[in-house]
Amino acid sequence: MVFTGVGPGEEASPELLMMVLVGGRGRTLDEFREMGREAGLEMSAVGRQRSGRYIAEFRPV
C-alpha cells in the first residue's frame, strides 16, 4: 500500500487517517462484497475514479 501526505507540511491521506484514527485496514473488493452480504446488501456496481480509488455501490437484497 502506498500512502501520500505523510511528509512535513502535507495533509494526511484519507487512507492513513482511516487506519490510524479508527483502526481501519485496507480491504479487497471481495472482502467488501462479503461484508455487504453479512449486512444484507449486494454489491451492485463498482467503478474506479481518476484518482485510482474505487467506489462500490450496495443495495438491499
Q: Where are the domains of the chain?
A: 27-60
**Predicted confidence (pLDDT) per residue in 3-58, tens digit:** 555 567 777 777 778 788 877 788 899 999 999 999 999 999 999 989 888 899 99
Distances (CA, A) of 36 to 2, 32, 61: 26, 6, 10
Among residues 3, 52, 45, the alpha carbon closest in space to that of 24 is found at: 3
Among residues 46, 49, 50, the alpha carbon closest in space to that of 59 is found at: 46
pTM, full prediction: 0.64
